Amino acid sequence: MPEANKLWIHCNRCFEQFTFKRHIFFLLACQHVSCEKCVKACLGRTPSDAPIYMCPICHKSVRGRQVTNSMPNILKRMFHPEPWNLSQDIIETFQRSNQKHFDKYKEKKEKEMDKLDKDIELAQSVCQKHYRDQQMLRVERRKLTQRMRQIKLQVAKQKEAQRRFYISKRRRSMEAQQSGSTSGKLATNPPVSRATPSFRNPMPPPQSVQSTIDAGNRRQQITSFVHDSNNSFDL
């Protein structure tokens, strides 16, 4: 893979890789590599002068070149894929320092990834526990809903029974009032006189007969209690 030999080329500040071709890279005179997002350029004394860059790593005002195939060979050799074949130690030192810098960045990211994996596992276990608790709460809620329906049915039945009881009680009281009124009317009626009807005899009765009649009349004048046969009761 030809791009594998360029993986170590990165921005020394934001660690953007050169192989992605998303930004322009610059090689600065302080031997730091920076992308166009991180470096700041300012014009020289004259328009023909090369621009001066503010290095985001060492904060020095230095010259710089864009990392392309058209850059001078003396600078292009700094990115040679096989620096051990070259006799200049400065190139090997430059590449090794950048590789170490990028390796430290990868180690840092690996630690962050491991921490994120652990956090994800912990969050997953917590979510699973919450899910089980929610399932148990759903089951309990279903049971309580069924119990509430049963209680409502029981309350409705009790109310209906009480309503029927009150209706029957009221009906019995009305019947008792009606029967009491009818018995009162019967009690207020005058008793029928049992005396024999008087009639005029053309001949006055004899004295003995008159005495018996007077005694019978006296017996009939004795007052007594009137008992209505329709209103009998037990003491």
Cβ-in-10-Å burial (0-12, 13-18, 19+) of 80 comes to middle
As a whole number of angstroms, the distance between CA 141 and CA 161 comes to 30
The tally of domains found in the chain comes to 1
Question: Using one digit for the tens of pLDDT, what is the confidence trace for 43-95?
Answer: 656 556 678 899 999 999 999 999 999 989 889 989 988 776 666 788 888 99
- Asked if residue 19 is part of any domain, the answer here is yes
Amino acid present at 15: F
Asked if the structure places residue 14 within a domain, the reply is yes
| 139 domain residue, yes or no | no
Residue 104 has pLDDT above 90, yes or no: yes
Average pLDDT over every residue of 156-168: 92
Q: Which domain holds residue 16?
A: 2-81
Residue 184 lies in a domain: no
- Digit-coded pLDDT (tens) for 207-230: 665 666 666 565 555 555 555 555
pLDDT of residue 234: 44
Tell me: the pLDDT tens digits for 182-198?
Answer: 766 655 555 555 544 54
Q: Domain for residue 121, yes or no?
A: no
CA distance 136 to 25: 59
Residue 204 has pLDDT above 70, yes or no: no
Question: Within a domain: residue 222?
Answer: no
Element (H, E) at 62: strand 61-66
For residue 66, being part of any structural domain is answered with yes
With respect to residue 77, please indicate whether it lies within any of the assigned structural domains. yes
